Amino acid sequence: MQTNDYQGLKIIDDSQFITQDELVVEAPLQININGEPYTVVMRTPGNDFDLIRGLLYAEDIYKKEQNLHYSILEEDKSVPKIINVDISKQDLGKGYLNKRTLLSVSSCGICGKQQLEDLNIEDDQLEEKLLFSSENLFKMFEALKEEQKTFHKTGGSHAAAIFNEDHQLLTIKEDIGRHNAVDKCVGSLLVHNNLQQGKYLLVSGRVSYEIVSKAFIAKVPVIIAVSACSSMAVDFAKELGICLIGFTRDNKMTVYSRPTFLKPKMHNEY
């Protein structure tokens, strides 16, 4: 299962309606080595054994030509959640000594709930609620585009930007990696001791679970993306109290969680 249908609120100019979007599935896979947890990766299910083999090679854990033995220890609706791989101790590379820290996430009590209805989940949510119009949202994106110096030169970089409650740009960073750009923005605001002013995170590409988790840790309540959102990004945005908006371009956008953040339609705002 690599895609799933989710409901969203589609806004085009002065109209809005419920829509069904097909999202790429993002799901965790725990990799065990010789019965011991090694790491958790976020991936789109499929070709998981190839993924593990490539990861172990890249991490200098197993570089021999012989095939490995894999065991699926746990599944969710036929999708592997935990896979164990057996590797003899003499074949383990040096990379095994630098074990990755396992991903730690809150239990996603609403994962897979595809309807847009307001969910009464209060624990561990961001408490702040913002009201904003689509007009202000698109203005923030114009400011982001203007500041993407590296992208204008190369066409090969991602950008992230954080704005305050008055829709003023606080910081923008570019990087070849989407997650790196977000980390740079958060780090910059931490250095200048004004992270608490960050209310809107804009990203130039798609949104996956990791970006939602970074926004939650930074206590930024709104994420706005120019491209798609993964299934787990939507799941966790709902659970963590984050307003998540995707496909924000050409006077269109799709709100996947917390549509109540949008101001009521007034004076042709939408």
Q: What pLDDT score does 113 carry?
A: 53
Q: Annotated binding residue at 76? A: no
Q: Annotated binding residue at 3? A: no
Reading the block at residue 183, the tokens are 């980390």
| pLDDT tens digits, 257-266 | 988 777 665 3
- Residues identified as active-site: 108
Average pLDDT (181-197) is: 90
Q: What pLDDT score does 104 carry?
A: 42
Q: Annotated binding residue at 138? A: no
**How many whole angstroms separate alpha carbon 76 and alpha carbon 198?**
37
Q: What DSSP letter does each residue of 209-221 carry, written as one string?
A: HHHHHHHHHHT--
Domain boundary assignment for the chain = 3-24+112-261, 27-97
3-state secondary structure 100-167: CCCCCCCCCCCCCCCCCCCCCCCCCCCCCCCCECHHHHHHHHHHHHHCCHHHHHHCCCEEEEEECCCC
The type of residue at 232 is M
What strands lie across the sheet with 27-33, from one edge to the other? Answer: 36-43, 27-33, 79-86, 69-76
For domain 3-24+112-261, give the fold: Cytidine Deaminase; domain 2 (3.40.140)
Q: Annotated binding residue at 100? A: no
**How many whole angstroms separate alpha carbon 99 and alpha carbon 208?**
23
pTM > 0.75: yes or no? no
Looking at every residue in the chain, the average pLDDT score rounds to 83
Q: What pLDDT score does 185 carry?
A: 92
Q: What pLDDT score does 105 carry?
A: 43
CATH 3.10.20.10 fits 27-97, yes or no: yes
pLDDT at 187 over 60: yes
**How many whole angstroms separate alpha carbon 80 and alpha carbon 72?**
6
Q: Annotated binding residue at 251? A: yes
Q: Annotated binding residue at 247? A: yes
| pLDDT tens digits, 81-134 | 999 999 998 998 887 766 654 444 434 555 555 454 544 444 467 777 777 888
Decide if 3-24+112-261 and 27-97 have a common fold: no
Q: What pLDDT score does 103 carry?
A: 46
Q: What pLDDT score does 100 carry?
A: 54
Q: What pLDDT score does 210 carry?
A: 85
Residue 25: band (very low, low, confident or very high) from pLDDT cuts 50, 70, 90: confident
Q: What pLDDT score does 121 carry?
A: 41
Q: What pLDDT score does 250 carry?
A: 86
pLDDT at 222 over 90: yes
